[in-house]
Structure 1
Amino acid sequence: MASPAQQLPPGWTAEWDATHQRYLFIETHTGHTQWEPPAAGPELSPQPSVSPPPSHHAKRRQYAAGQTQAYYGVGDSLAAVPQYSAAAPQPQPTQLFTPGLAADGQFQQQQQQPPPYYGGHAEPEYINAPQQPVYPVQPPSQMGVLADQFGQMTMGHKGLRLFTTNLLTSPPEPLELRQPPPEIFLPPNSCLSQSPYANADASYQRCTLNAIPTTNSLLNKSKIPLGLVLTPYRSLKEGEEEVPVVTDTVIARCRRCRTYINPYVQFIDGGNRWRCCMCSLSNEVPQLFDWDQVRNQPGDRWARAELNHGVVEFVAPTEYMVRPPQPAVYIFLIDVSHSAIQSGMVATATRTILENLDRIPDENGRTKVSIIAFDTSLYFFTLPSGGAESSMLVVSDIDDVFLPKPTDLLVNLQEARPALETLLGRLSDMFQDNHTVGSALGPALQAGFQMMAPIGGKIMVLTASLPSIGVGALKNREDPKVLGTPKESGLLQAASPFYKTFAIECSRAQVSVDMFLFSPGYQDVATLACLPHYTAGQTFFYPAFNASRTEDAIKFAHEFGKVLAMPIMLEAVMRVRASKNLRMSSFHGNFFVRSTDLLAMPAVPQDLSYAIEVQIEDTITAPFVVFQTAVLHTTCYGERRIRVVTTALPTTSNLSEVFASADQVAIATLLANKAVERSITHRLEDSRDALFNKMVEVLTAYKASMTAAGAGASAQLAISENLKMLPVLVLGLLKNVGIRQSAQIPPDLRAYAQALLTSLPSQILIPYVYPNFYSLHNMPPECGTVGEHGIIMPPPLPLTSERLERHGLYVIEDGQTIFLWIGRDAVPQLVMDVFNLPSYEVLRGGKTTLPVLDNPFSQRVTAIIQKTREMRRGVYYPHLYIVKEDGEPPLRLWALSCLIQDRADVLPSYQQFISQLKDKVSVNSMPSFAIFNWMFM
């Protein structure tokens, strides 16, 4: 059969879409795509007999140790960008995994050159996102055909198609984690609007299933957890539109279930009433709903933002306020003990606050600030309005904390600006000779609370030592003998009840706490992180901080500065509503559950994530269901608002559709939260077992219901194509510092990792669990240059050391740390171009800043590092470490631990993990008599 490309008119090309098993027709000069062939050409309806383009397999090139090659100069064209390869001078094509096993049991590899990759996100952008390139997807295997025959009988009308893949022959492909979640196919006429934004973008709210089972038994049959992953207050990047704001204070809500009007309600009775999409109650349309108050004339109902957008914000009328909107209030508790001064933390912190005073949200001039220093005493500073000098008041009685002065301690930022600038400029010098060792953190927190309680706001704690005196004093409970044993989970629980009790008091008074921890030794992060956990704050950890290292100072100053400049939601409460017979059953994240389903969040930072498990209580009869998250809050600019996030999902009674709609990124995010909670309430071992068993349950359920192999042993391990990366994400969780089986992980590092696992949004969490791995020495020539959508990133590689070549340069990054790995046989010119050093031997490993050099390759590498630090949301600024192949063992092992597909210590490789899953699934699928015979064979 002739190729479609040969039958098309000029200006058109055809590409095989392996996912949909059909050709995609592309108009070359406009980029327009369509499924049907162009009218000018002959009819080319896709037929089953049309074969996709053949795959050409090639063996991976092997390089001998010590083999080097002459450096190729840079010409004027982009194609002449150097390749630092030890083989032929031609650019090396990127090697991607392709299905199939070689004779020796190793994965075959296919050499392909993918299109430019712009460093896409693990979740789709809200709007105006750059279109991600389409990468080849494995055609469905024979097993997939069987699954189609088994479970696709009733799926055509909704558009969901189930493709089965064999995990034994389909290794992980990192690019699949950048794909959007499965498409949502709502029934016809379920939405009032044709707007593409009628459903909330997944970066705000996503569900583990994009087709909701109609019964709990059907959900249990799939073994997939049902839950929501929320980031209701996510940051916006350049080019993204703001969340639309309804300013007329006309808010239509259901009288019975209190749902906010949204694109999925129905207007009845000539448009005078609307029927709730959750409880079906008929409600009156507010009188001013169709009135344009700005122009003072009739308005267009269908243009209202709440009927066209899944994410919208209402300006709240007075009935939504129990008091006038509070101002933004910041109290800085700064540790000035000997270790804090000597590390340079105090000097760096005060300088950062001083440099960011203009960035602190204060558009309405109401923001208040205060500074309290502490060691074994408390130091208050009066900041008189209009004056340039401050005075210090010392309180040494920490057993009965009191405020030494009723005024001038918590002051207006603008009015006290001169005195505040003077104090910040000399605070570090005031305590430079302080030799006091000890920390009265608990009393300092009580003082800050007394000052802030009548108003509410944010306490920012910067401390470099373990609290040792007064209420909340802690002891060093780090015991190497406990690590790796069942008792280790005790180190992840709070050591003192004071911090949880105090946090709950703070939550009631609308006070949030952020912790910045710098101790060179044990600091009990697990206990101190209770404060941010229950007050909707954040924890930041800088182990062994030393400001004399430029990299340490820059990282802290960058992150602290972004936290200071970040707009925040104040005195917020959040509630999630759902359609009839759906109930929110448990909550994960940084907040305090005030009542059954009301989450109290005194101050909501941007880009904090929450996970909520959902339970199906009874049979769902509606064709679709709606989840709606409402966050009532005060902006840091003094306006009371309600942010409403609405997601509508179809229902299904077909198990195939349940599997086809599963969102592996949302599932992994929910599992991370559940795993951390289980490790604290039970044991770390129980947490790991629960993760592994959940993966086994899902695979067993899929095998039993979706494959012809049903019960008994099978040579394959089947899963739906959209869940193909879930096993490697679970493996990444099992190998993450927060969960990993090891007797070498300090409890502070493990506790901080768990704080990240339960607070990071999916876009940042996924690389933290499944890092990115790039090859730089032979990357395509356009990588590191500016493309249509910014810096073009190299294509990510699978996380295995098999891809490391001894002459190569690689980036491994997880969003918190960037490793620049260099092989021992790197050519001298590469070392000179990147590090400005004559050879590999004189290069030193460790924390570093790359030099700014005047050569194209250095500029490309620098651009990629910079893009890595900027492409995700959040305030994190990863350290950069140079890792030499034969360098310091601890640093090498740290970097290699990110390559989670390799075996490490007692932890299995990906292939071993898949084999373990297969064995367990095979046993679970056997009839009971077969299991009996198998056990005694």
Structure 2
Amino acid sequence: MNNGYPQYQPNYGFQQQGLHNQTPYGSSQYSYSPQPPVPQQQGYPSQQQNHQQVKQLPQHQGFAPQQQTHVPQQPAYVPQQQVKQVPQGYIPQQSSVPQVPNFQQPQVQHQNSVPQVPNHQQQNSVPQVPNFQQPQVQQQNSVPQVPNFQQGRVPQQQNSVPQVPNFQPGRVPQPGNHVQHQSPHSQNNSYQYADPRNTQNGTQLPPSVCNSQLPNNPEIFRCTVAAIPETPNLVKECRLPLGITLHPFRDQKNLHVIKATIVRCRYCRAYINPYVYLPDSRHWRCNICYRSNEEQYADPTTRPEIQHNTVEFIATSDYMLRPPQPACYFFVLDVSKAAVESGYLHIFAEQFLISLDLLPGGDQTLVGFMCVDAVLHWFQFLEGEDKPRHMISQDVDDPFVPVHGGIVVKLKVFRKAIESFVQSLPGLFEDGSAEDSNCLGSALQIAFSLINEVGGRVTVMQARLPNIGAGALKVRENKDNKTQNFGPATDFYKRLALESVGKQVSYDLFAFGKSASIDLATLAEMSKVSGGTVHHFPNFHAVRNIPQVKRFEKLFNRYLTRKIGFEAVLRIRCSRGVSLHTFYASERSMNGGDLADSREGVINAAVDAFTSYNKMHRLQSGWVYSHEAMQLKHFTKYILGLLKHRTFAASPSVTITTDEQVAMMLFFRSAPIEAITLEIYPSLYPVHELTPGNKDLPSRLPLSYEAVGQGGMYLLDTGNFVYLYVTVRTNHQLIEHCFGVNGFGNIDEELTIQQRDNPYSEALFTVIRSLQSARAGYFAPVVTIREDSHRRHLFTTRLIEDRTEKSHSLIEFYHHIQREFSK
């Protein structure tokens, strides 16, 4: 069970999100999204996304063309189809790309998620993957002009794409730096990045499928390549990763729920879907095994599964191993001295009370609370009493439950007592008597024993290293060699999680880090193994770190109120010619050697891709700088962004702790693809060029300080944060409209920018809301940075196309790749 950002499960074909969600009334729901025969690539594989490499079985030689595909109509292979591939996230390329004929696109079914116990809630999250289709660019950079707000702005230069190695910085085609050129396929397409806001689905399905007008949802299902090689040799020769990123429980609105009989293929058990074949009105042929099935209930074309590519069923008892269990939420709260001083209890209490009416589970929902410092604090709710009884257990080495009931209770029955308790919670431990120790491991053992009969979710709030009782840890932060601490110090938390999985219990960790380490690499094991998630808030303080407070508020509120599913089993079926090779989950830990190997591996991926492309097309020297290499250039940009990210840097800065590095590694495995790609390659926008009333985003700029004018104001979207960078010469009137102060020197970075009643502030917040809406619910706070600020480096270090003391510029990285594959 995954109670954080849903784990992304790669697969091919059409997506089946099957029978996953449990309701307290004994009904089960599942959603499934069948996929068009030709998966579209967009984006980049993510962190706790579960990726799968696809192993190709021997068939015919050839590599799938990007424009059209012809295959036999017989059921032994994919029926004849013409597939027009349009890159998702880019405007289609105008120039023609060399094609190699004789391609077969095997169909593979997405996933069939069949739960053991149903639940009415549904998980969400998002992966997008950069599409390496060749983009289109225009000749000149057009920038909307705003009167009286352009003082000091450096005019944008016209950019062209050179065809020779003599390449100058700043002349790489960028969003907003448009270069026109002719193409037989298009006449007015402009260059765009693989941005979720710009995605299009241009797949043309073969007319032989039942619903050829229903496209795939790229927000749920993405392939890393635009066409599938037919043989293992071609997979090796192209040197590109072949896999699928799947986001099975992304937030779905207006989801079609079906209470009718569930129709499946009697041979391979695939579900009927829009992409099956209908030889007549009484039969349908499976698009996975190609065998014919009889429709016993009605005309297949009238079924909702044919008309929608994502549906949910109310499951029957045939899909359950036991009757539906009530939704159970148990909270383990750190109340040690460090936790109380951080002030997180105030935010927890506020957001819990706000979200109480929206907590999934219905009338049968169960809740329980336990607080932890040097002892265990129990809270027993009894009928007729308006507040719980507070009990303390000092035996942390051999913990036990002191009472037989009242610890985990029904929310509906004890609603008033629970509200009163949560309101008073921050004040219970603010008298200065809080202990500076923590026995988290002992608390988790008790929490598991309390809810293992029904299963459920344990929410852990932790601000200190657990140093006593079961699972006690010691400080092991080593500033000279941080990578040696990327693995767990003990297997206690992993063993606990493995035992919990069998009882349908998962753990979600909210870690509030300060200067001292809490050994996140060890504590995160309980979440990774049990299907939970980890949220890290470094340097958290309820008063002094407002951005982290905003993050906690938004993420915790979403965590409490979003739909979830318990006790699910994911099943994946593949069509002929394709098999699953490797499954990438989130359990694997990383050490220093793995980090170095990862850096070398991603560099080799770029070199191998360029080498393979050059070998197949035998291009002239210097082609790496030409327009022909545009798709691979974008691949290279993301690799450079990954290498420069502080999580994977060869020599991480002393300002980043081991906990922060581990947290970012976990982020790359579980966060939505939209947020991950922005962390790797941020987006930069000149917001001083906004025109009031215009809701379009401004032109996206290259990630180079050369693009930052002396009189501008810029938004840098980095995935976890949105930085608002204000230069010294920014127009005073614009500053007054946006910040409500007179002049640059009066801007207070510690205050969160608020929308004001004027057209320029409204235009700015329209852009901010647009950026936030493209994250699949993942909130990123806005942080103001002045040009003369001590935290200016947060902005400048994310301009990855510039050279630094320890890393290449983008052009130098191209030179490096050119030298490597030319050897």
TM-score (norm 2): 0.77
* 2:815 corresponds to which of 915, 925, 935: 915
Q: Which residue matches 1:843? A: 747
Q: Deviations over 1:177-208 (max 9, x none)?
A: 7543784455441x1123424xx311111111
Q: Which residue matches 2:264? A: 252
Indicate if the aligned counterparts of 1:717 and 1:918 stay in contact, CA closer than 8 A. Answer: no
Matched, 1:822 2:818: no
Matched, 1:266 2:277: yes
User: What are the within-5 Å matches in structure 2 for residues 131-146 of structure 1?
Assistant: 139=182
* 1:382 corresponds to which of 374, 380, 383: 380
* 1:242 corresponds to which of 254, 260, 276: 254
Q: Which residue matches 1:19? A: 93
* 1:771 corresponds to which of 646, 664, 682: 682
Q: Which residue matches 1:509? A: 503
User: Deviation at 1:752?
Assistant: 0.8
Indicate if the aligned counterparts of 1:466 and 1:519 stay in contact, CA closer than 8 A. Answer: no
* Number of aligned residues: 687
Q: Which residue matches 1:192? A: 210
CA RMSD in angstroms comes to 3.4
Q: Which residue matches 2:320? A: 321
Matched, 1:694 2:605: yes
Taking a change above 3 Å as real, the CA distance of residues 880 and 112 of structure 1, as seen in their structure-2 partners, is: closer
Q: Which residue matches 1:879? A: 781
Q: What SS does the aligned partner of 2:722 have?
A: strand
User: Deviation at 1:567?
Assistant: 0.8
In the alignment, the residues of structure 2 paired with residue 708 and residue 686 of structure 1 have an alpha-carbon distance, to the nearest angstrom, of 30
Matched, 1:496 2:490: yes
Taking a change above 3 Å as real, the CA distance of residues 904 and 83 of structure 1, as seen in their structure-2 partners, is: farther
Taking a change above 3 Å as real, the CA distance of residues 93 and 301 of structure 1, as seen in their structure-2 partners, is: farther
Indicate if the aligned counterparts of 2:169 and 2:811 stay in contact, CA closer than 8 A. Answer: no
Taking a change above 3 Å as real, the CA distance of residues 900 and 104 of structure 1, as seen in their structure-2 partners, is: closer
Taking a change above 3 Å as real, the CA distance of residues 699 and 718 of structure 1, as seen in their structure-2 partners, is: farther
User: Deviation at 1:388?
Assistant: 1.6
User: Deviation at 1:900?
Assistant: 1.2
* 1:535 corresponds to which of 527, 530, 538: 530
Q: Deviations over 1:285-316 (max 9, x none)?
A: 4x3x31xxxxxxxxx42021222333222222
Q: Which residue matches 2:566? A: 570
Unaligned runs of 5+ in 1: 1-16, 23-52, 62-78, 115-134, 146-160, 164-169, 291-299, 593-676, 924-937
Q: Which residue matches 2:772? A: 869
Q: Which residue matches 2:59? A: none
Q: Deviations over 1:450-498 (max 9, x none)?
A: 1111111111111110111112211111111114xxxx1x321112111
* 1:203 corresponds to which of 207, 219, 233: 219
Q: Which residue matches 1:408? A: 406
* 1:99 corresponds to which of 136, 158, 161: 161
Indicate if the aligned counterparts of 1:699 and 1:719 stay in contact, CA closer than 8 A. Answer: no
Indicate if the aligned counterparts of 1:93 and 1:112 stay in contact, CA closer than 8 A. Answer: no
Q: Deviations over 1:299-353 (max 9, x none)?
A: x420212223332222222111011122211111111111111111112212221
AA aligned opposite 1:511:
V
Indicate if the aligned counterparts of 1:493 and 1:526 stay in contact, CA closer than 8 A. Answer: yes
Q: Deviations over 1:842-866 (max 9, x none)?
A: 4344x43114544332332234334
Q: Deviations over 1:5-46 (max 9, x none)?
A: xxxxxxxxxxxx983469xxxxxxxxxxxxxxxxxxxxxxxx
Indicate if the aligned counterparts of 1:834 and 1:857 stay in contact, CA closer than 8 A. Answer: yes
In the alignment, the residues of structure 2 paired with residue 546 and residue 824 of structure 1 have an alpha-carbon distance, to the nearest angstrom, of 29
AA aligned opposite 1:873:
A
AA aligned opposite 1:546:
H
Q: What SS does the aligned partner of 1:571 have?
A: coil
Indicate if the aligned counterparts of 1:678 and 1:686 stay in contact, CA closer than 8 A. Answer: no
Indicate if the aligned counterparts of 1:96 and 1:797 stay in contact, CA closer than 8 A. Answer: no
Q: Deviations over 1:548-580 (max 9, x none)?
A: 235443332222111111110111111221112
Indicate if the aligned counterparts of 1:341 and 1:432 stay in contact, CA closer than 8 A. Answer: yes
Matched, 1:84 2:144: no
AA aligned opposite 1:223:
R
Indicate if the aligned counterparts of 2:174 and 2:700 stay in contact, CA closer than 8 A. Answer: no
In the alignment, the residues of structure 1 paired with residue 472 and residue 795 of structure 2 have an alpha-carbon distance, to the nearest angstrom, of 36
AA aligned opposite 1:548:
V
Indicate if the aligned counterparts of 2:373 and 2:436 stay in contact, CA closer than 8 A. Answer: yes
Q: Which residue matches 2:479? A: 480
Q: Which residue matches 1:649? A: none
AA aligned opposite 2:418:
L
AA aligned opposite 1:531:
M
Q: What SS does the aligned partner of 1:334 have?
A: strand
In the alignment, the residues of structure 1 paired with residue 180 and residue 751 of structure 2 have an alpha-carbon distance, to the nearest angstrom, of 39
Indicate if the aligned counterparts of 2:716 and 2:795 stay in contact, CA closer than 8 A. Answer: yes
AA aligned opposite 1:740:
A
Taking a change above 3 Å as real, the CA distance of residues 87 and 482 of structure 1, as seen in their structure-2 partners, is: closer
User: Deviation at 1:110?
Assistant: 9.6
Work out the percentage of aligned pairs sharing the same amino acid. Answer: 29
In the alignment, the residues of structure 2 paired with residue 426 and residue 177 of structure 1 have an alpha-carbon distance, to the nearest angstrom, of 43
Q: Which residue matches 1:630? A: none
Q: What SS does the aligned partner of 1:505 have?
A: helix
Matched, 1:799 2:703: yes
Q: Deviations over 1:820-850 (max 9, x none)?
A: 11222334333333323333234344x4311
Q: Deviations over 1:194-228 (max 9, x none)?
A: 3424xx31111111123222111112111111111
In the alignment, the residues of structure 2 paired with residue 96 and residue 327 of structure 1 have an alpha-carbon distance, to the nearest angstrom, of 63
Q: Which residue matches 1:350? A: 349
Indicate if the aligned counterparts of 1:368 and 1:411 stay in contact, CA closer than 8 A. Answer: yes
Q: What SS does the aligned partner of 2:443 have?
A: helix
In the alignment, the residues of structure 1 paired with residue 174 and residue 274 of structure 2 have an alpha-carbon distance, to the nearest angstrom, of 47
Higher relative contact order (CA 8 A, sep 6+): 2
In the alignment, the residues of structure 2 paired with residue 54 and residue 743 of structure 1 have an alpha-carbon distance, to the nearest angstrom, of 36
Q: Deviations over 1:683-729 (max 9, x none)?
A: 311110000101111111111113444xx776756755544421111
Q: Which residue matches 2:48? A: none
Indicate if the aligned counterparts of 2:675 and 2:778 stay in contact, CA closer than 8 A. Answer: no
Indicate if the aligned counterparts of 1:330 and 1:370 stay in contact, CA closer than 8 A. Answer: yes
In the alignment, the residues of structure 2 paired with residue 354 and residue 176 of structure 1 have an alpha-carbon distance, to the nearest angstrom, of 36
User: Deviation at 1:509?
Assistant: 1.2
* 1:555 corresponds to which of 532, 535, 551: 551
* 1:227 corresponds to which of 218, 224, 243: 243
User: Deviation at 1:87?
Assistant: 5.4
User: Deviation at 1:96?
Assistant: 7.4
In the alignment, the residues of structure 2 paired with residue 900 and residue 343 of structure 1 have an alpha-carbon distance, to the nearest angstrom, of 34
Indicate if the aligned counterparts of 2:737 and 2:758 stay in contact, CA closer than 8 A. Answer: yes
Q: Which residue matches 1:67? A: none
In the alignment, the residues of structure 2 paired with residue 263 and residue 860 of structure 1 have an alpha-carbon distance, to the nearest angstrom, of 41
Q: What SS does the aligned partner of 1:797 have?
A: coil
Unaligned runs of 5+ in 2: 1-90, 97-135
In the alignment, the residues of structure 1 paired with residue 156 and residue 322 of structure 2 have an alpha-carbon distance, to the nearest angstrom, of 61
AA aligned opposite 1:222:
C
Q: Deviations over 1:355-380 (max 9, x none)?
A: 21111113x31111111111111111
Q: Which moved more, 1:796-805 or 1:817-826?
A: 817-826
Indicate if the aligned counterparts of 1:737 and 1:753 stay in contact, CA closer than 8 A. Answer: no
* 1:372 corresponds to which of 350, 370, 376: 370
